[in-house]
Amino acid sequence: MYKIDKLNELAKVVAAKRAENAALEPRRMTAEEKDELLAHFHPDYKQDEFTVLSAGVNKGDKVPTQLAALLQGKSRISASDVDLSAPDYDTDVLIIGGGGAGASAAIEADEAGVKAMIVTKLRIGDANTMMAEGGIQAADKPNDSPAIHFLDAFGGGHFAAKPELVKKLVTKAPEAIQWLNKLGVEFDKESDGTMVTTHGGGTSRKRMHAAKDYSGAEIMRTLRDEVINRGIPVIDFTAAVEIILDENGKAAGAVLMNMETKELLVARAKTVIIATGGAGRLHYQGFPTSNHYGATADGLILGYRVGAKLLYADTLQYHPTGTGYPEQIFGALVTEKVRSLGAKLVNIDGDVFMHPLETRDVTAASIIRECTAHDKGIETNLGKAIWLDTPMIEYIHGEGTIEKRIPAMMRMFGKYGIDIRKEPILVYPTLHYQNGGLDISDDCATGVENLYAAGEVAGGIHGRNRLMGNSLLDVIVFGRNAGIYASAKAKETAVPEKLTLEHIEKFNNELKVCGAASEVASPMLLPHYARKK
Ligand code: MEZ
């Protein structure tokens, strides 16, 4: 590991080449070069990090090994632990998860005039939505269109996304921005009121709308206020541990567990929306994560056990620029907006080794290659990293740009004595997003009747790689969509009479028969390093 003095020495190499590097127009990689790079350096291609499922609807498919252990894990309850005859809560639409998708769904359900209720294992807003920084995409400028947005997103996802989902994502995007704007999100605007938009990796038009570099926090703040102002019930510190079905196999509620007392509660509902977010806290392949504390794949487990199918659960997003140094913020997100504003990725020799706005999977793989095969990384106490030349932003756009456009980044590094206006920072890929999830159709239905999914827990919208800003968009578009469809379905559904948890025993038996039963308690609820009694 280099000492701080040595890092300062190496940073001088970056400063010396800044003017030359700022003028560079690095070429884009060809499709063949990208394929070759991904196959050798992207973590999704490391076959020994995946396990083939032996049980459930995705039997025969490979998923990350940590996820397989949970999907084939042991329920936290057995049917006899719960009295299903006397529900503690009765609602029309039960929403599991208090992030952007859950809150958007709840607002639409309330708007539709049905009874909605949110349950969340932490608090409303403790979610990856809150952590998103750089922005939200929408094709609402004269030189852009939803069709161009479609091509960018579909191509960026390696043509694997479900076209009907991408169509919904892009065509509903301009309306989503207007909806958020009306609710009170403080988007960055020019003095005439037009929204400021920038590029992200893989975008052919500037369509990233942002609230500085805390776009997700600003959006979540607004949604949370709206949920509270409408008086929608939010049951916090209460996790869903099993979906309840009715005698016809339709979703009819969930078993809840108070996170503090471990008391079990029953919520009966006509329809259920899973909006539990992602899985970064499973730390696949030992990567650090940019995700919030509760991102433990719970929704995938809840859905899978009652027969909802997974799509592309083997594809993860490693955000190219997680913090590589200092170790107190190792893996924390360094927004892609830093590169949108002109900062380039530079190796130990001060050389730019790639175009800074390739898609995320390609950029992450390229950084990994630079640090491994090319041996051009900078050693830190936690491994190798690459320079992100942040002072280049002010070299290009002038003094004051960083404080104005990415103040959260400036503050985050400033706490550790690093002034990103003057010094480059060290970055390395961090586990950021699950590209796949519960397979949904364009009404957010999962295939298990009356069970819906929205937000990061859903798969198929982004194919095998997501573009920046399409996640904040997805939680709004598909969160609202799930709220609308689940409410319409609830209106034509009677209160479920017979509630069952028979699926637990059925799934256990399947696990036993195929020899895959494990003692891992799932859903996980909190990361393994959570506070223990
Ligand atoms: O969409 C994202 O993941 C996002 C906006 C992240 C970022 O780099 O800021």
Tens of pLDDT, residue by residue over 229-267, are 999 999 999 999 999 999 999 999 999 999 999 999 999
132 lines ligand 1 (CB under 6 A): yes
Sheet (strand 437-439) strand order: 310-311, 437-439, 458-459
Structure tokens at 201: 């990796």
335 lines ligand 1 (CB under 6 A): yes
Residues 345, 477 within the same domain: no
Residues 349, 401 within the same domain: yes
- State the residue range of the domain holding 381: 4-41+322-431
Residues 420, 470 within the same domain: no
Contact by Cβ (8 Å): 437, 311: yes
Residue 36 lies in a domain: yes
Last residue of some domain: 393, 413, 431?
A: 431
DSSP character at residue 373: T
468 lines ligand 1 (CB under 6 A): yes
Ligand 1 midpoint to CA 140 (Å): 19
Mutate to test the pocket of ligand 1, among 197, 316, 468 (most ligand atoms within 8 A of CB): 468
Residue 519 lies in a domain: no
336 lines ligand 1 (CB under 6 A): yes
Closest CA to 103 of 119, 115, 88: 119
Residue 92 lies in a domain: yes
Measured between alpha carbons, how far is 264 from 420 in angstroms, rounded to an integer? 48
Residues 83, 199 within the same domain: yes
337 lines ligand 1 (CB under 6 A): yes
> What is the predicted pLDDT for the residue at 5?
78
The domain that holds 236 is classified in CATH as 3.50.50.60
In DSSP terms, which residues pair with 196 in a beta bridge? Answer: none
Give the lowest-confidence range in 133-137, 213-217, 518-522. 518-522
Residue 120 lies in a domain: yes
Ligand 1 midpoint to CA 129 (Å): 10
471 lines ligand 1 (CB under 6 A): yes
Residues 298, 331 within the same domain: no
> What is the predicted pLDDT for the residue at 3?
66
Ligand 1 midpoint to CA 291 (Å): 11
The domain that holds 21 is classified in CATH as 3.90.700.10
> What is the predicted pLDDT for the residue at 532?
56
> What is the predicted pLDDT for the residue at 305?
98
Residues 407, 480 within the same domain: no
For the question of residue 369 being annotated catalytic, the response is: yes
474 lines ligand 1 (CB under 6 A): no
Residue 533 pLDDT > 60:
no
> What is the predicted pLDDT for the residue at 528?
86
Reported in sequence order, the residue ranges of 236-293 that DSSP labels E, i.e. its strands, are: 238-246, 251-258, 264-274
Last residue of some domain: 410, 431, 452?
A: 431
Ligand 1 midpoint to CA 407 (Å): 15
Residue 20 lies in a domain: yes
Measured between alpha carbons, how far is 315 from 72 in angstroms, rounded to an integer? 19
Give residue-wise pLDDT tens across range 451-460.
Answer: 999 999 999 9
Residue 47 lies in a domain: no
Residues 459, 426 within the same domain: no
> What is the predicted pLDDT for the residue at 271?
98
Residue 505 lies in a domain: no
Contact by Cβ (8 Å): 510, 55: yes
Measured between alpha carbons, how far is 84 from 90 in angstroms, rounded to an integer? 12
Q: Which residue's alpha carbon is at the smallest distance from atom 5 of ligand 1?
A: 134
Contact by Cβ (8 Å): 241, 77: yes
**Upper half-sphere CA count for residue 439 (Cβ side, 13 Å):** 15
Measured between alpha carbons, how far is 16 from 335 in angstroms, rounded to an integer? 25
Structure tokens at 386: 């690459």
Q: Which residue's alpha carbon is at the smallest distance from atom 2 of ligand 1?
A: 468
Give residue-wise pLDDT tens across range 60-115.
Answer: 999 999 999 999 999 999 999 999 999 999 999 999 999 999 999 999 999 999 99
Contact by Cβ (8 Å): 186, 209: no
**SS3 for 224?**
helix
Contact by Cβ (8 Å): 7, 418: no
Contact by Cβ (8 Å): 70, 522: yes
Residues 297, 334 within the same domain: no
Q: CA Rg, the chain, in Å?
A: 23
Sequence-separated (6 or more) residues with CB below 8 Å from residue 118: 95, 97, 98, 102, 103, 106, 124, 227, 232, 233, 234, 235
In DSSP terms, which residues pair with 345 in a beta bridge? Answer: 388
Number of domains in the chain: 2
Residue 161 lies in a domain: yes
Ligand 1 midpoint to CA 462 (Å): 14
Sheet (strand 197-198) strand order: 136-137, 208-209, 197-198
Structure tokens at 446: 């999962």
Residues 88, 183 within the same domain: yes
Cα distances from 169 to residues 41, 339, 438, 467, in angstroms, run 30, 24, 17, 12
How would you write 253-268 as a 3-class SS string?
Answer: EEEEEECCCCCEEEEE
Residues 333, 413 within the same domain: yes
Active-site annotation holder among 18, 360, 369, 405: 369
Residues 281, 406 within the same domain: no
Mean confidence (pLDDT) of the chain: 97
Give residue-wise pLDDT tens across range 24-34.
Answer: 999 999 999 99
Ligand 1 midpoint to CA 151 (Å): 19
Give residue-wise pLDDT tens across range 456-507.
Answer: 999 999 999 999 999 999 999 999 999 999 999 999 999 999 999 999 999 9
Cα distances from 18 to residues 224, 355, 429, in angstroms, run 43, 15, 23
> What is the predicted pLDDT for the residue at 531?
62
Mean pLDDT within 382-407: 97
Residues 399, 267 within the same domain: no
Identity of the amino acid at 481: N
Give residue-wise pLDDT tens across range 266-283.
Answer: 999 999 999 999 999 999
> What is the predicted pLDDT for the residue at 529?
87
Q: How confident is the model at residue 55 (pLDDT cuts 50, 70, 90)?
A: very high
Measured between alpha carbons, how far is 67 from 283 in angstroms, rounded to an integer? 10
Minimum-distance ligand 1 atom for the alpha carbon of 216: 5
Structure tokens at 279: 């899985």
Last residue of some domain: 414, 431, 448?
A: 431
44 lines ligand 1 (CB under 6 A): no
